[in-house]
Amino acid sequence: MLGPDGDPLAGAKVIADGIGPVVANLWLSTHSAEDGSFRLAVPHGNYHLGATIGVTDSPSTSLRTSIKPALRLVSVPANGVSGGHVLQFRRPDATISGTVSISNTAGVTGTVFLWGWSEDDAFVTANVPVTNSLGSYSLDVISNTTWHLGAVYETPSQYWLAQEEVVLGTGGATQNLVLMGPHPKPAPVAVTFDASQPQRIHLADGTHIYIPAGAMPVEGLVTLHVVPIATLPHQRHANVYRYGYAFTAVDEEGQPITEHFNQDVVIGFAYDERELWYAGISEHFLKPAYFSTTTNEWAFPESYVVDTGGNRVVMQIDHFTDFALTGEPGFQVFLPLVLRW
């Protein structure tokens, strides 16, 4: 593992993402050692190998402004080793710029959240100020790859969204973004309950939360806030469906509950197949996810179920943070199986 200057990099999170029928949906990770080396035990199969690091974790300016290493496609043989892989963080060498405008509204002064991810796993974000519903942006990116741009502006009850694809060569590119909307969001929910009693919470969009009795790592009253939030980034492996949710819980003294829970809570997300199709997501690719601010990456819980009959995804998790229903862009084609007797 190397930094953008070619020096060994310690503490980077190395991720092996299984692809193909043998290891599909397998997501394994480790951290690089002091000398930049890493070793990860995996089942045999094919993997995308990548790395990430939290933007606030390093005092190095060059690392904070660098871009994730390009993905490597690796094949691990049965009872064998796949070695010699070098992952290096990159310096931007191109720029995508343009305007952002918010449709069906006038006089908006605020901030548009903008993100971009590339086919080789690069990822960048920016906050763009707008005045009278118009602003301009500039993203420092990697050349010679396809970039997927998105921008969102939100109010407590609505959001506006733009998504575009930019095929970038050796030079820069201009891409204007028109945010379409407004799209509705459900109202935030705040519930106060006794930690010794089970609790069920429902949002207007079908999202539900079940907290078993005694699951919270505190005694007495707990207040849970669930705020729908659209300003969450999309990434190569995680295309956010509609919007996500910020979950925060405090004890009766008003102190945030940050410890892992005594047992898992259950969170269920509802979805509409027609909306998935419009967003370019197959329901067979759906995954619940939580955003890790330490690695600047969407991560997936170990335990979840996709109920394609009931159009619902249910997960179990032992902490609260920002959650969303996500899916890799793309569709699967299932062909009929024909047997000859």
Residue 59 has pLDDT above 60, yes or no: no
Would you state the pLDDT for residue 60?
57
Cα–Cα dist 224/35, whole Å: 43
Residue 277 has pLDDT above 90, yes or no: no
pLDDT level of residue 335 (50, 70, 90 thresholds):
very low
In the DSSP assignment, the letter for residue 260 is P
Average pLDDT over residues 269-284: 87
Cα–Cα dist 228/156, whole Å: 8
**Three-point CA angle 330, 184, 127, nearest 5°:** 70
Structural domain contains residue 152: yes
Cα–Cα dist 85/255, whole Å: 45
Cα–Cα dist 260/301, whole Å: 14
In the DSSP assignment, the letter for residue 102 is E
Q: Exposed, middle or buried by CB within 10 Å (0-12, 13-18, 19+), for 102?
A: buried
pLDDT level of residue 152 (50, 70, 90 thresholds):
very high
DSSP assignment of 199-239 equals EEEE-TTS-EEEE-TT-SSS-SEEEEEEEEE-----BTTBE
Of 116, 150, 184, the domain-final residue: 184
Give the residue ranges of DSSP H helices in the chain: 61-64, 273-279
Structural domain contains residue 83: no
Residue 67 has pLDDT above 50, yes or no: yes
Candidate from 16-25, 27-36, 87-96, 144-153 with smallest mean pLDDT: 16-25
For residue 167, list its beta bridge partners: 146
Average pLDDT over residues 190-216: 96
pLDDT level of residue 27 (50, 70, 90 thresholds):
confident
How large a percentage of the chain has pLDDT more than 90?
Answer: 78
Residue 62 has pLDDT above 80, yes or no: no
How large a percentage of the chain has pLDDT more than 70?
Answer: 93
CB-CB contact of 289 with 232 (8 Å): no
Cα–Cα dist 57/85, whole Å: 24
Would you state the pLDDT for residue 61?
58
For residue 18, list its beta bridge partners: 47
Give exposure, 125-151, as e/b (b: 16+ Cβ within 10 Å): ebebebeebebebebbbbbebebbbbb
Nearest to 293 by CA among 315, 268, 319, 313: 319
Residue 129 has pLDDT above 90, yes or no: yes
Looking at the structure, do residues 199 and 311 belong to the same domain, yes or no? yes
- What 3-state DSSP class applies to 63? helix
Looking at the structure, do residues 194 and 321 belong to the same domain, yes or no? yes
Please state the pTM of the whole predicted model: 0.87
H/E run at residue 58: none
pLDDT level of residue 329 (50, 70, 90 thresholds):
low
Residue 256 has pLDDT above 70, yes or no: yes
Average pLDDT over residues 43-68: 78
Structural domain contains residue 251: yes
Name the residue with higher pLDDT: 80 or 278: 80
Structural domain contains residue 317: yes
Q: What CATH number is given to the structural domain containing 322? A: 2.60.220.30
The number of distinct structural domains making up the chain is 3
Nearest to 238 by CA among 313, 312, 184, 291: 291
pLDDT level of residue 55 (50, 70, 90 thresholds):
low
Q: What CATH number is given to the structural domain containing 127? A: 2.60.40.1120
Would you state the pLDDT for residue 183?
95
Average pLDDT over residues 102-111: 93
**Going by C-beta distance under 8 Å and a sequence separation of 6 or more, which residues neighbour residue 121?**
48, 50, 68, 69, 70, 71, 236
Q: What domain range is 31 assigned to? A: 13-76
Looking at the structure, do residues 150 and 274 belong to the same domain, yes or no? no
Looking at the structure, do residues 196 and 323 belong to the same domain, yes or no? yes
Structural domain contains residue 335: no
Would you state the pLDDT for residue 321?
94
Cα–Cα dist 114/130, whole Å: 12
Name the residue with higher pLDDT: 34 or 65: 34
Residue 202 has pLDDT above 90, yes or no: yes
Cα–Cα dist 270/310, whole Å: 8
Of 141, 169, 184, the domain-final residue: 184
**Going by C-beta distance under 8 Å and a sequence separation of 6 or more, which residues neighbour residue 13?**
29, 30, 31, 51, 52, 53, 295, 297
Average pLDDT over residues 126-153: 97
**Three-point CA angle 268, 48, 321, nearest 5°:** 30
Report how far Cα 255 is from the mean position of its chain's Cα atoms.
Answer: 27
